[in-house]
Structure 1
Amino acid sequence: MIYKKLILLFLFIIVANANDVKLYFKNNTVKNAQTALLFLEAKNIIEPKLTLMSKTKVNQKFYKNKFLDNTYYALVPISYYLSPKEYKVIISYIKDGKKVFKSIKLKVLDGKYKSEVINVSKSKLKPNKQRAKRTKQEYIEAMNIYKTQSSELLWNEKFIYPMNSKITSAFGTKRVYNGFLKSYHSGTDYRAKIGTHIIAVNSGIVKIAQNRFYSGNSIVIDHGQGVYSCYYHLSKMYYKVGDSINKGQIIGLSGDTGRITGPHLHFSFRINSIQVDPLQAIDILNKLTSK
């Protein structure tokens, strides 16, 4: 009888330990180029990681959520070019010295983004060899930054928008330059006459503050743990690389620098180096503070 009770107690402990781990998406359906938020509620686990089982497996790690006790989170940015379908996400962690695996499904929908035609001067559409070398170098330098993830989350409050103005070009629109499909719109454009104040959407550290061929005067802020906000075509930049920025600070003035047809703010987001819809990213980041 004693042995049976001990066995039942042991089984109860195993079941309790299995049930004290909760795994769920805040949004288990997203469009391509949007971001999913995955929560892992658990005590006494280490090394939580995930793998998005796409054609090229995407590996990411969880971070402790400083807003909720005993909770880890992972941002799962979806590439603009990822095929719409249901994907399996494999999660692993170590508990009581053993590696545990779990899985969860994530559904990706076709964003059905629109197309727009843009006419620019040939000198800006097809840069000469010197400019091509410059743009390649600028891209490499930027990607090296975006691929870096600091362990600390650098913000404590919800994200805001960089300005209060009409959106003139939404994220994801296919860009047809002078009759040729070249790319998709990698950010959200706000109407802004030259000299309009541009504010930081949240606290962080400036990682880029320079004039670049395509984006003109550009400021990029690292918000920690793989999250970056980007502000392009500025006429003035008020901060340099390494400066700390507080949410709501004026980081510069809007302008018409770079490859552009008129003054505006191009606002974009990178999460884990992947370009995503910035407004949807802000919305999902602001859900980190609640279950």
Structure 2
Amino acid sequence: MVCWIVLASPAGLAMPALNAVPGGIVQLTLEPIDQPAPTVTFNQRKTLVTQQNGNWITLIGIPLSTKPGEHKAVVQPVGKSRYTIAFDVKPKKYPESYITIKNKRKVNPNPDDMKRIKKERGQLGKDLARWTQQEQIDLDFRLPAKGRMSGVFGSRRFFNKQPRNPHSGLDIAAPKGTAIHAPASGTVIDTGNFFFNGNTILVDHGQGLISGYFHLSAIDVKPGQHINKGDLLGKIGATGRVTGPHLHWNMYLNHTKVDPALFVYDQLTELDDGAKAR
């Protein structure tokens, strides 16, 4: 059982649950808010800074590849010398997931597929490196779709018995055409069709906080479009590398994939839990 610490900002905004493990989120307390907001980096990437209880705080996404032990964030206050804050990352063993894919090219792509995949990785990397500086960050997320939780973040995946990268998001299985709504306000970064991800939407929520929606049957937004919480983004489908219709939902902090469940920890009971079957 995982214990999450839940905190709220003085403005009443919800905060994600905290879990100092690979794929989790760490919170560090910084300067009082009567001083300018400092800049914080982890692994040479800027991290989200916001306010809580009279102080600036930072939320840091921990990569799945992070080794347990002590790690350090670098803090650069305005007009002062930089300093570091140490924090500990605890180990976590994620479950294994064995999946059978009928389309063999989605497991072992041919040379032409690999050219497409390489190009798409470059595009996604550019999209996910986006940084929009803004003070107000909407952290009060809602579930983007109704359905059954069919896959959990971090599971060690085997496609047709071949090991592949860990699962990078939370899966919600539902019939094709089920609506997907924006879990928080933001701006659409990009949309498109990708070899593995299928029809895709990426949304910028500010300061490196980005959400992704994959395998869609329909896309109902355009790049550059501002969206409010609850707006229609698209519809659940079965495009890309899938075994059936579902939404694969990713969350990113400081260019790092983190567990989306941390943003909706108090709403997970609304999903019919089928994750153990995967």
Q: TM-score, normalised by structure 1?
A: 0.78
Find the partner of 1:212 among 165, 184, 194: 194
Task: Check the 8 A contact 2:40/2:73 in 1, yes or no.
Answer: yes
Give the equivalent residue in structure 1 for 2:208.
Answer: 226
Give the equivalent residue in structure 2 for 1:3.
Answer: none
Task: Check the 8 A contact 1:155/1:202 in 2, yes or no.
Answer: no
Give the equivalent residue in structure 2 for 1:258.
Answer: 240
Q: Which has the higher helix share?
A: 1
Are 2:67 and 1:83 aligned?
Answer: yes
Tell me how far apart the structure 1 counterparts of residues 75 and 116 of structure 2 sit (CA, whole Å): 40
Q: Structure 1, residues 117-142: CA drift from partner, whole Å, max 9, x if none?
A: 11212122122222211111111111
Task: Check the 8 A contact 2:98/2:160 in 1, yes or no.
Answer: yes
Look at both structures and tell me which one has the larger radius of gyration over its CA atoms: 1
Give the equivalent residue in structure 2 for 1:73.
Answer: 57
For structure 1, which runs of at least 5 residues remain unmatched after alignment?
Answer: 1-25, 285-291
Give the equivalent residue in structure 1 for 2:28.
Answer: 38
Tell me how far apart the structure 2 counterparts of residues 241 and 203 of structure 1 sit (CA, whole Å): 14
For 1:41-60, what aligned pairs fall within 5 Å after superposition? 41-43=31-33, 45-46=35-36, 48-52=38-42, 57-60=43-46
**AA at the equivalent of 2:23:** A
Give the equivalent residue in structure 1 for 2:180.
Answer: 198
Task: Check the 8 A contact 2:142/2:184 in 1, yes or no.
Answer: yes
- Change in CA separation of 1:27 and 1:177 when aligned onto 2, cut-off 3 Å: closer
Number of residue pairs matched by the alignment = 250
Task: Check the 8 A contact 2:99/2:159 in 1, yes or no.
Answer: yes
Q: Which has the higher strand share?
A: 1
Name the Cα RMSD after superposition. 2.5
Specify which structure has the bigger relative contact order, considering alpha-carbon pairs within 8 angstroms and separated by 6 or more residues: 2
For 1:1-291, what aligned pairs fall within 5 Å after superposition? 30-43=20-33, 45-46=35-36, 48-52=38-42, 57-60=43-46, 63-65=49-51, 68=52, 71-94=55-78, 97-99=79-81, 101=83, 103-120=84-101, 121-152=103-134, 155-156=137-138, 158-282=140-264
Secondary structure at 1:140's aligned position in 2? helix
Tell me how far apart the structure 2 counterparts of residues 269 and 27 of structure 1 sit (CA, whole Å): 13
Tell me how far apart the structure 2 counterparts of residues 214 and 28 of structure 1 sit (CA, whole Å): 30
- Change in CA separation of 1:247 and 1:129 when aligned onto 2, cut-off 3 Å: same
For structure 2, which runs of at least 5 residues remain unmatched after alignment?
Answer: 1-15, 267-278
Q: TM-score, normalised by structure 2?
A: 0.81
Secondary structure at 1:184's aligned position in 2? coil
Q: Structure 1, residues 99-152: CA drift from partner, whole Å, max 9, x if none?
A: 263x44322122210111112121221222222111111111111121121002
Tell me how far apart the structure 1 counterparts of residues 71 and 139 of structure 2 sit (CA, whole Å): 32
Task: Check the 8 A contact 1:147/1:273 in 2, yes or no.
Answer: yes
**AA at the equivalent of 1:75:** L
Q: Structure 1, residues 56-100: CA drift from partner, whole Å, max 9, x if none?
A: x445356353xx585323221101011111324443424xx5426
- Change in CA separation of 1:212 and 1:63 when aligned onto 2, cut-off 3 Å: same
- Change in CA separation of 1:199 and 1:39 when aligned onto 2, cut-off 3 Å: same
- Change in CA separation of 1:32 and 1:123 when aligned onto 2, cut-off 3 Å: same
Same amino acid, percent of matched pairs? 32
